[in-house]
Chain A
Amino acid sequence: SQTIHQWPATLVQPVGSPLSLECTVEGTSNPNLYWYRQAAGRGLQLLFYSVGIGQISSEVPQNLSASRPQDRQFILSSKKLLLSDSGFYLCASISGVRGNTIYFGEGSWLTVV
């Protein structure tokens, strides 16, 4: 089975500072990777997904960006954080052309102050 490592687990950042959340996947190759954000008491909002190296699909216009420099690495970034970027960020992975099991990372709690 897959293992997803996501870090940092918790961070507090000032408004206007940069952000980098990293996600790496073990136990599979060529996964489909996803970044979600979950605000307090809300559902999972799809931010980005990637079906391969360098391939990024963006779902929501915002000041965040994503990159996939390696097959099993997915990075979420921002040049300047906003207060509204606070939330719980989850990386997820599905493998195989017809993969049917999704694995989640442990999540990263971001508080922008």
Chain B
Amino acid sequence: GESVGLHLPTLSVQEGDNSIINCAYSNSASDYFIWYKQESGKGPQFIIDIRSNMDKRQGQRVTVLLNKTVKHLSLQIAATQPGDSAVYFCAERTNDYKLSFGAGTTVTVRA
């Protein structure tokens, strides 16, 4: 499953499939980007981050891709599990340390 920017705030994906969540950021001066996951009733949970001098970073089952040319960030989740159901936020930090979050994408995993 794949979401496009902030205009499709929901993503439904079959368990076991890969998920791609997209985010368009606004400031070309942003030097640091973070993906968060928020489950219902809880605070945001850090997933993975990437600096502007990188274009890809991998974690456990997750990969973040950064395309500075088009100011686009994506989070790929491999073999999506029911526990991955949550709202996913991208955040960008400018070099004055302002950290701003996107609107979020709700991911629902179908059994």
- A residues contacting B by CB (< 8 A) are 32, 34, 36, 42-46, 49, 51, 57, 59, 90, 92, 94, 100-102, 104-107
Does more than half of chain B's interface fall in helix, strand or loop, or is it mixed? strand
Complex-state Cα separation, A60 to B101, whole angstroms: 14
* B residues 70-98 in Cβ contact with A at 8 Å: 89, 91, 96-98
| CB atoms of B43 and A104 under 8 A apart | yes
Pairs A–B under 8 Å by Cβ, sample size 20: A32-B97, A34-B99, A42-B103, A42-B104, A43-B89, A43-B103, A44-B89, A45-B101, A46-B99, A46-B101, A49-B98, A51-B96, A57-B98, A90-B44, A101-B46, A101-B49, A102-B34, A102-B46, A106-B43, A107-B43
* A44-B44 in contact given A100-B51, A102-B34 (Cβ < 8 Å): yes
Complex-state Cα separation, A19 to B99, whole angstroms: 24
Enumerate chain B residues within 8 angstroms of A100, measured Cβ to Cβ. Answer: 32, 49, 51
Q: Does B100 contact A (CB under 8 A)?
A: yes
* A43-B104 in contact given A34-B99, A100-B49, A102-B99 (Cβ < 8 Å): yes
- B residues contacting A by CB (< 8 A) are 32, 34, 43-44, 46, 49, 51, 89, 91, 96-104
Enumerate chain A residues within 8 angstroms of B102, measured Cβ to Cβ. Answer: 43
A104 touches which of B32, B44, B51 (Cβ 8 Å)? B44
- How far, in Å, is B25 (CB) from chain A's closest CB? 13
Complex-state Cα separation, A46 to B89, whole angstroms: 13
| CB atoms of A46 and B98 under 8 A apart | yes
- How far, in Å, is A101 (CB) from chain B's closest CB? 7
Beta-carbon nearest neighbor of B50 in chain A: A100
